[in-house]
A and B are shown apart, each in its own frame.
Chain A
Amino acid sequence: MKILVAVKRVIDYNVQIRVKEDGTGVVTDNVKMSTNPPDDNAVEEAVKIKEAGKAKEIVAVTVGEDKAQETVRKALAVGADRGIHVKVEGIIEPLAVSKVLQKIVDKEKPDLVFMGKQAIDDDCNQTGQMLAALLNWPQATFASKIEVKDKSLEVTREVDEGLETIEVNIPAIVTCDLRLNEPRYASLPNIMKAKKKPIEQINASDLGVDTKQRIEQIKVEEPPKRKAGIKVANVEELVQKLKNEAKVI
């Protein structure tokens, strides 16, 4: 079995983002970037499946500017065998990403495609489902447990009501929740080894995919700030404030 894992480079989850003064976006210069957190879970799960002898090859793919390669390199350091970097400049929407990934799937013919359920920058939560639609494959989104069977996967999904379990035929798309596993850290020797693993470079334009934006970003602004609150001295004061000032109890 072959697993394709899609990873995205985003502003690190620990960074307090700043909105640009001209309203065109958020500041990314000199800001720490990393792999989108649930994409790390997707890589980890693929590696675990390979370690269990159920997969032969893991290919990590990213779609983005030159530096997006860092995320593929990281995936290679934790166990992916080779990488693909589809180069595209500027903002690329989930629909366009899924069309690019469709082309990569056509070429690589993986049995499974894994990725994070949501990117923490645009918070869209679309790409996996869109790719599943374009390929007419089943989708198992928000996965917190994956069991590999003969010709299918049994996937536990985190939904608003609790948990849901579905069985999807292979080939399938899985989008991963943060609770799926605990991503490992790459060891130094593996980071060194990863530098020798191949990353194929492809231009999105060569794939014949139209990556033009369909959604115009008119303005990005700071959300309204909350008024600073107060600290209360004790529980008694807290309850009095909630009752008499805020009038919520």
Chain B
Amino acid sequence: MSVLLIAEHNNKEVKPFTLNAITAGSQIDQDLHVLVIGNKADEVSKSIAQVPNVKKVIQIDHEIYENYLPENFSPVIIKQAENYSHIVCSANTFGKNLMPRVAALLDTSQVSDIIKVISPDTFLRPIYAGNAFATVKSTDKKKCVTIRPTSFDPAATSGGSAEIVKAEASEATTLTKFLKREEVKSDRPELGTARVVISGGRGMQSGDNFKLITAIADKLNAAIGASRAAVDAGYITNDHQVGQTGKVVVPDLYIAVGISGAIQHLAGMKESKVIVAINKDGEAPIFSVADYGLEADLFEALPQFLEELNKLNTIQK
């Protein structure tokens, strides 16, 4: 038995969720190899080789892999998969896009979005937006598994010295062409890994009003999230969406402002350690998961909140 993990990276750096996936992968089996498919991604391979849990790095380098199209990635993964019992990667948009294509080619019924490794063939995964947990056992010989990154700690990034071997590229796809990526650049912590997240919902009433949230995020070094309603209304871009079809976050502190708390939103944040809800509707479902609820008009509460925070000098960064 051995595990092949598909690394997510941008050809320069490893994406943080790859480290969480490595932790889960090595719980399935200690013999964990990482496949780095990219374009001039030597630095990525070198840094993954230093992760103590990684036994071997396989690097496949070609310009056709610059933009991680699944049509290009799948054939090389299939070729490598021969020697492994498990193919795994993180269950974010990278892995969700890629893994089912791989699984179908291997004739494997994929296990998506696991939150716990019970044994090498048995896993725990949330269903119905996290309103139920299913224990599932894969009976396929080769298993394809995606990992909910926030349910596993990131692996240590130094101390290891895995060997790096090179493997051959496959032919380029003619089916799909990458055109562009519009990344939202920000100096803030990433939503998925931030210690504090403050999110706004429909109650914010406009994109401009998100500046009230930004001011507090600056103070707490927080990432900014949003409900689907706020994204749909155009207050903020889609990369901020927390929920069943957006991102799952598990920060130490989650502050929900003007968010009613539909089950689809709760699916993305209810595992947070401490939840604060600020909402003027005392009956809003968000209060049912909040450790601290404040029934108040957010346009009064947020400026006061900032003022109170400014009085503290102990804010953890």
Contact = CB atoms under 8 A, between A and B. Distances in A.
Interface stretch (A63-71, A76-84, A154-162): A154-162
Contacts of A129: 70, 97-101, 104
Contacts, number: 262
A157 B270 CA distance: 26
B213 to A, nearest CB: 15
11 contacts: A17-B131, A126-B99, A133-B101, A139-B176, A141-B96, A218-B135, A220-B127, A229-B292, A232-B293, A232-B294, A248-B252
B97 A123 contact: no
A235 B28 CA distance: 46
A229 B122 contact: no
B53 interface: no
Contacts of B111: 215
Nearest to A246: B274
A59 B133 CA distance: 35
State the main secondary structure of chain B at its contact with A.
mixed
Given A129-B104, A144-B238, A229 B133 contact: no
A242 B132 contact: no
B109 A94 contact: yes
A131 to B, nearest CB: 8
Interface residues of A, number: 84
Interface stretch (B38-46, B56-64, B159-167, B307-315): B307-315
B104 A98 contact: yes
Contacts of B264: 13, 120
Interface in A192-249: 213-223, 226-232, 234-236, 238-239, 241-243, 246, 248-249
A167 interface: yes
Nearest to A116: B245
Interface string B133-165: 111111110000000000000000000000000
Given A94-B109, A121-B127, A164-B178, 19 more contacts: A94-B110, A120-B129, A126-B103, A126-B112, A129-B101, A133-B105, A139-B97, A159-B239, A160-B94, A162-B182, A178-B245, A214-B108, A217-B134, A228-B288, A229-B275, A236-B304, A248-B196, A249-B220, A249-B316
A43 interface: no
A249 B312 contact: yes
B294 A235 contact: yes
A241 B97 CA distance: 42
B293 A26 contact: no
A3 to B, nearest CB: 18
A34 interface: no
Nearest to B304: A235
Nearest to A154: B179
A34 B37 CA distance: 41
A13 B70 CA distance: 30
B50 interface: no
Interface in A143-194: 144, 154, 157-169, 172, 177-179
A57 interface: no
A126 B136 contact: no
Contacts of B128: 11, 17, 26, 120-121, 123
A221 B135 CA distance: 8
A166 B228 CA distance: 24
A143 to B, nearest CB: 11
A168 B100 contact: no
Interface string B288-305: 111111111000010011
B101 A130 contact: yes
Given A154-B179, A169-B174, A132 B309 contact: no
